[in-house]
Amino acid sequence: MNNHYRAAIDGLNEIRAIANQGVPPTEATALAVTQTRAILAVAEEQAKTNVLLETANLIAYAQLCSTMRDGAKFAKARNAAELAMKDTDNDGEEDGF
């Protein structure tokens, strides 16, 4: 749990504490609670997305390692990358990426 997430939870707890003291809720309080809950929902979904992205990166890394172990495939891929970076328009600078 990061600091922003913890701060949002603390803010909701503070609003609850104020309401429990008998202070009537205001429109601003209701909007703050709604906004904070929405932010927390987005943060939770972002955390799930980050896990999926990390998994995808690990899969890609595993594939890269596998490809590099196959010397012929790795050499072809490296040559293709080098060819893409060559100076094809003879301006003294590498073209490509």
The two structure tokens encoding residue 43: 């943060």
d(CA 23, CA 21): 6
Q: 């891929």: which residue's tokens?
A: 77
The two structure tokens encoding residue 88: 């094809």
d(CA 96, CA 38): 43
> What pTM was estimated for this model as a whole?
0.47
How confident is the model over 2-22, as pLDDT tens digits? 677 777 788 788 888 888 888
The average confidence (pLDDT) of the chain is 77
Distances (CA, A) of 15 to 26, 42, 60, 62, 96: 11, 20, 45, 48, 56
pLDDT lower than 50: segments of the chain: 97
